Amino acid sequence: MASRADQDLSECLLKSFKVVTAAAVRGRLCKLGANDNEITICAAGEQGIGIFISDAPVGAWTTVAMLSGGGVVPVVVGTGGATRNSYAVAVANGLTNQVLGGGTVVRHIAGVFTQTGVAGDMVGLQIEAFGGVSA
């Protein structure tokens, strides 16, 4: 378990969005809402575009670190855990490990974990969005 989640936002693209549908949770993957400048939390397996930098209620504006390949952001570890140097995908309660290859199920990768942790921990994620496949 990481005692403190890695963070380096110096190379991150940070954008402000209005939170819709469900409250923003620091360290969780998020996706665009139905309208311009709207953001909402991702469900398990959904493609995300960023990581919430702070908690915020529905209707508030919040900052998102965009999944553009730069920076390390703290994320919430979901069921299944996080292992340093493993790809990360969204699950119902955060992000967890994903092994790629050997199948045809599309996986939306949010980045690579820089630390190891268990569900509920905050660990570092080097952000980078891409798609892969697995069984």
pLDDT for 75-133, tens place per residue?
999 999 999 989 999 999 999 999 999 999 999 999 999 899 999 999 999 999 999 99
CA angle 30, 35, 37 (to 5 degrees): 60
Lowest mean pLDDT among 9-13, 63-67, 86-90: 9-13
Domain count, the chain: 2
> 56: domain range?
14-66
Clarify whether residues 59 and 105 are in a common domain.
no
Residue 69 has pLDDT above 70, yes or no: no
- What sign has the CA pseudo-torsion 97, 69, 74, 107? negative
Q: Which of 66, 87, 106 is at the close of a domain?
A: 66
Clarify whether residues 61 and 76 are in a common domain.
no
Clarify whether residues 36 and 84 are in a common domain.
no
Q: Which of 31, 51, 66 is at the close of a domain?
A: 66
Averaged pLDDT score across all residues of the chain: 94
pLDDT at 71 (0 to 100):
87
Clarify whether residues 126 and 88 are in a common domain.
yes
